[in-house]
Every structure is written in structure tokens, then in C-alpha cells.
Chains A and B, each alone.
Chain A
Amino acid sequence: MSPKTQERLLYLASPIGLLLLWQLLLMAGIGDRRFVPAPSDIALRYWQMLASGELIYHSAVTLYRVFAGFFIGIVPAIAAGLLMAMFRPVRIFFDPLIATLFPIPKIALMPLLLLAFGFGDASKVALVVIAVFFPVVVNTYVGAANIEKIYWDVARNFGASQAVIFRRIVFFGALPMIFAGLRIALAVSFIVLVAAEFVATKAGIGYLIWNSWELLQVDVMFVGIVTVGILGLIATVILQEIERLVIPWKSE
């Protein structure tokens, strides 16, 4: 066995071991299967819900809200971050706002957003927009502000206008950090959205989790939790692939 295969096996050992232990303990009669379903129970329920289309429906609703909010949120965040790095007054203007609003748990804004946008998708999308904005704006700003001085020198020496510096130097120079921000933002959007779906909605994975808890369908609840993890994983892998295509100069 090559060292690489060994590493891969080791990589899988902890989650598989944990699931195995969980299954065996319940099969041995330790723990109440009505409250703590075994992995096999969850897998079975998962399959049933997938086959009935119920899981697909809730997943689609959640994904729609995540991606709508994600894309609406990152565009102004990237623009604001770049402008902050380029223009001191913009930075001075935005800095206190970000410092104040970033630490507020975004889920705390949910009642406010329900007032403003109602009980439909709009309030959930708005929450994701707000949650996504902060990590992306901060990462973009840091990435753009730390572009090596020599690139500015070259650009100025070659007579580049502010617009050219913005489009061809600052944006691309900040791109690796922007993607680091997007990864955080993606995780954050799932976190806030699932929490938001606990209330005031009749669809989405968050609703599925909360509703099954109220009905004491613990296995369904676990299916919801597992689904959030799987959706997050797939979205992150897709984002990493996009990053690889968009940043071909980042070889490592």
C-alpha cells in the first residue's frame, strides 16, 4: 500500500469509525432508538424521502434562497472592498459601519426582515445577502490593500488610468483573497438560512429539521442535518473548481 493510499484510508477512518460505533452501541441496546436513531435508520429514511421527492423539494427551496442571496450579496461586497482599497475616503466612510455591523448575529435581524419583506422567500434571501456581505467585503479589502507595491509602480509607470488599475490590477490581485471570502460566505449563508427557516416558512431544509423535531420524528431531523452538510460540501467543491478556472496563475 502506497503512503498516499494509507493517508486516504486514515482520512476516512474517523468518520466511518464514528458511524460504526454509533450503530453498534444502538444495536447493543445502549440508548433509545426512538430518540437517537441509528445511522442505518437515518440512511433508510434518507432514501425514502429522496424517492418520494420530499427531500428534493426542500433542498431546492433552500438552494434557491442560498444562491439568490449569495450572488446578490457578493457583487456589492466585492465592489465595496475594492473601492475601499483604492480610495481612502471610501475606506474611512465604510470602516465604522463594518466594524459595528459585522459582529451582530445576522439571524437577529430576521424579525426586522420579516417586517420589511414579509414571510416569503424575499426575507430569507435578504438575510443571506446581509450575512454574505461582511466576510466578502473584508476579505476583498484586505486582498486589494495588500497587493504588492511593485504592481502599482508598474501600472503607474506604464501610464495606467485609475479605471485600468481597478479592473486589471486591483481586482485580479485581490482575487485569491476574494475567493477565500467567498468560501466563508458560502458556509455562513447555509448557517444563517437554515436557522431562518426554523420560523415563518413552510419549506426548506431548516423547516424540515424544525418541523420534524416538533413532531418528534428524530430520524427525519437527522436527514435534514445530513442534507445541509451534503449540500454545503457540494457547493464548496463547485466553488473550488470555479476558483481553479478563474485563477489559473495560482499553481499550487
Chain B
Amino acid sequence: MPAQRRGAAIEIASLRREYASGQGSVVALDNVDLRVAPGEFVCIVGPSGCGKSTLLRILAGLDRQSSGHIRVNAEGWAVENAMVFQDSGLFPWMSVEKNVRFGLDTRGVPASEADPRVDAALKLVGLSKFRRHYPHQLSGGMRQRTAIARAFVTDPAMLLMDEPFAALDAQNRVILQAELVRLWEQTGKTVIYVTHSIEEALLLGDRTVVMTAQPGRIKQIIDVPFPHPRDLMQLSASAVFGALKLDIWRVLEAEVMRARAEVEG
């Protein structure tokens, strides 16, 4: 994949999402404005229920906004986006290989082209030897790798990731984070990465978007000043990193408390 090719440009303007619920309606997202440059890695953090997953689902075409608009410019890309879900979403009845191939099958990619792409994607995530395994035979980390390969194989202009490593143990998370950053550096795709971990957001992204508790609005956007390529372990141990993490926590803390107060009534 040519490194000079950049991912999709995204423009989100006055986005709003309301759900009908019981007596009234719940505003999940309100007045969200965000521009994402081609090839940018943007992380979204916020308290539970801030609508960050809703935003991702709208971008993925799995949900629709109530008002506002989204413009995605993915010219030159056959596939606009691919999503990686929190609990992998691998089909239990398909082998690793068939799971990875799924997005090519649905788009009618002929076998002569699909075969080498599946091989390459499996190699990319180090699962070539496990291609005939079923998801239940894999560890949590391998399942998420498969899910990442399934997204990458379609060569999407943007990658939408919904807390993909949240369910993994700490060691696996670090390894997969490093792999993801490496893949992103190589492929130049635009990545929107939802997480509840400030640390993860700072380690991976170019910018961190902090969202408010319900209704989800953008509270602050922080530029992450660390250059690429990054050594994640070294970075996470540095003083600058710690200071920035604390800054963002101060911003987020108020929102988390507010969300809690609302829940407790």
C-alpha cells in the first residue's frame, strides 16, 4: 500500500442525535462540530453515555443523525470505512480466514484478488498460522487482531474503532496498541478511535477530543504534541506525557462527576 496515499477527510457540522425514550427524548449528541484531516488519528474520550459510540455508529452508517451533517471525502478509495467493535464481532461460525475475507466477499472481490489480500492481512497481524481456527479457539488478543485484519483487508479510507482493546489484559493491550500505531503509520488511513482511557488516547492519537456527559458535546480538543514514529512504552513513562494526561483528566473529571451526579439523581 503506498504510504503517500492519505485517508478520508471528515467534516462533521452541528450534528445532533435524539432518541425517543418513554415520555420524552434523550439527546445523545448535540452540536458536534469536528474536522478531521486526511490520515489523521483522532481519539475521542468521554464519560460513559457521552454519545461517543453513537458518533462512531453514525460515521459507520449504522445509525443516522437527527440533524446536522457529515461529509466524508474518500475519493480514490473503494471502501469508505470499516469498523472494529469492542468485542470483536467475529462470526463464530466462520474460520479466521473466512472472517477476514468477509468484507471482500460482500463487495464481490474476485478470488484471484481476494486471496493475496487475505494472506497479506493475516500476515500483517501475525495470524497466518491460525487461519483455519474458529474464533472460540483464539485468545481475546488474537480475536481482536482478526477483527483488525478484517477491517484492514477491505482497505478502507477510514478506520472506526470502538474501544477495540478495552476487554484485553494490560500486556496484550500494549502490544496491540503498538501494532495498530505501526499499521496506521504504514498505511496513512484516517482513524477515529473511541476510548474511555486518556492514556490510550494520548499514546495513539494526533488529537484528543474530550466529550461532555449527556448530552454529548465536544468540550475540548487537545493537540497531542508527540511526533511519530512513537515508542509507546517510552512515551508513557515520560514526564510530558504524565503532565498532559493530568491536564486532560482535569477536563474530564468534571464531566465524569456530572454524569455520576445525574445518574444518582
Question: Which residues from chain A sit less than 8 Å from chain B, CB to CB?
Answer: 150-151, 153-161, 164, 168-169, 172-173, 175, 247-249, 251
Contacts and interface: CB of A to CB of B under 8 A. Distances in A.
A251 B136 contact: yes
Contacts of A156: 61-62
B154 interface: yes
A249 B91 CA distance: 10
Contacts of B105: 164, 168
Contacts of B154: 158
A158 B61 contact: no
B184 interface: no
Contacts of A175: 93
B91 A172 contact: yes
Interface stretch (B81-89, B114-122, B241-249): B81-89
Given A164-B105, A248-B134, A249-B135, A157 B93 contact: no
Contacts of B130: none
A157 B107 CA distance: 11
B106 A154 contact: no
A159 B89 contact: no
A169 B91 contact: yes
A168 B91 CA distance: 9
Contact of B103 (A150, A153, A159, A248): A159
Contacts of B107: 158-159
B77 interface: no
B89 A153 contact: yes
B60 interface: yes
Given A249-B93, A251-B136, A158 B87 contact: no
B85 A153 contact: yes
B85 A173 contact: no
Contact of A249 (B79, B87, B134): B134
Given A153-B85, A153-B89, A157-B82, 8 more contacts: A150-B89, A154-B89, A154-B102, A159-B106, A168-B105, A248-B134, A249-B134, A251-B137
Contacts, number: 61
B56 to A, nearest CB: 11
Interface in B17-62: 57, 60-62
Contacts of A169: 91
Interface of B: 57, 60-62, 79, 81-83, 85, 87, 89, 91-94, 102-103, 105-107, 134-137, 150, 154
The interface residues of chain A, by DSSP majority, are classed as helix
A248 B136 CA distance: 10
A151 B150 CA distance: 14
A113 to B, nearest CB: 38
B143 to A, nearest CB: 13
Contacts of A153: 57, 60, 62, 83, 85, 89
Contacts of B81: 157
A249 B136 contact: yes
A157 B87 contact: no
B102 A158 contact: yes
Contact of B93 (A150, A159, A161, A173): A173
A173 B94 CA distance: 11
B136 A157 contact: no
Given A164-B106, A249-B135, A251-B136, A154 B91 contact: yes
Contact of A154 (B61, B85, B93, B137): B85
Given A158-B103, A158-B154, A249-B135, A172 B62 contact: no
A248 B87 CA distance: 21
Interface centre among A151, A175, A247 (most CB of B within 10 A): A151
Nearest to B90: A154
Contacts of A172: 91, 93-94
A55 B102 CA distance: 52
Contacts of B135: 249
B106 A151 contact: no
Contacts of B102: 154, 158, 160, 168
A157 B83 contact: yes
A189 to B, nearest CB: 27
B66 to A, nearest CB: 20
A158 B87 CA distance: 16
A158 B89 contact: no
B85 A160 contact: no
Contacts of A160: 102, 106
A161 B108 CA distance: 11
Nearest to B60: A157
8 contacts: A150-B87, A151-B89, A153-B57, A153-B89, A154-B91, A160-B106, A175-B93, A248-B134
A148 B93 CA distance: 13
Contacts of B136: 249, 251
B118 to A, nearest CB: 14
